[in-house]
Amino acid sequence: MRVLVTGGSGFIGAWIIRRLLAMRAAVRVLDVKPSHAAILDIVGPTATAIEWRRGDVSALADVNDAAADCDVALHLAAILTPACKADPARGAEINLIGTLNVFEAARRHGMRSVIYMSSAGVFGPSDGLVPFPTTLYGALKLAGEGCARAFWEDHRVPSVGFRPLVVYGPGRELGLTAGPTLACRAAARGEAYVIPFSGATDFIYVDDVAAAFVAPVQRGLSGASVFNLLGVRASVDEFARAIAAAVPGARITVDGPPLPITDRIDPGSLRDAFPEIPRTDIAAGIAATIAHYRRSPQ
């Protein structure tokens, strides 16, 4: 099986590729970055098995060429909340047009399925059942879900989308919710760090997200499903205290407004559909993240 991964140089992409290679899938990455050197820290020596295609997901020709001979597409390429706010047009090119291009390439090449990254950002600050985004990033992710439904109705391209909230773990550096991971890294280095948002939210360890993405890869899918991908609900203060419990004396504080996404998201039917997806508790996830940064302090 050959799997196309868009945006494979990113944090979550590295963890997904690690699992794909472990299941002996052939992995082809489409990314604007020229090499996979940045993901060696997560994937390890097996990263040399990745077939790397440099290209832009917002260019249909690049996506179509990369999709040739692939059985499944895992679509991760995106820019995050701050970048979408700073450049709305580029956000739309990558997060929406890029999604359309992946589905169109999947249709042209007769792929078995598209598995794509949506976001809990489709929800607003008060309702975790009915999507009502208040950020451009969330609005574009919600539009992508609509595109997935349309490609099923019009062309019978099956898909699964996942909506995580705060994804943390080794390698996370960018985005509105990178703070918890950066706090773990700072604690491992003996540095102070202020997590720049507060309140309660949902924390999910990155390898649990990777497990979710590979779960549908070998299944025969039908329809256009989307699942809320939840981990453990906690306050950011509780997360900071858990870091301090793992690293006594850690100088981690919290300061900033709550996220513009409710922490009360309906769990839906994810665990019924994919009971094999693990749920790492916060203490274990923090311990694994800190251990990684102690081994790889860069």
pLDDT, position 298:
60
What mean pLDDT comes out for the span 37-60? 90
pLDDT, position 194:
98
Closest CA to 135 of 255, 143, 178, 183: 143
Q: Domains in the chain and their CATH numbers?
A: 2-165+204-230 (3.40.50.720)
- Render pLDDT for 70-90 as a digit per residue (tens, 0 to 9): 999 999 999 999 999 999 999
pLDDT, position 40:
84
DSSP β-ladder status, 200-205 and 193-195: unpaired
pTM of the model: 0.96
Edge-to-edge strand order for the sheet containing 72-75?
Answer: 51-54, 26-31, 2-6, 72-75, 113-117, 159-163, 224-228
What mean pLDDT comes out for the span 101-118? 98
**Whether pLDDT at 193 is above 90:** yes
**Whether pLDDT at 235 is above 80:** yes
The chain-wide mean pLDDT, for the chain, equals 96
DSSP β-ladder status, 193-195 and 72-75: unpaired
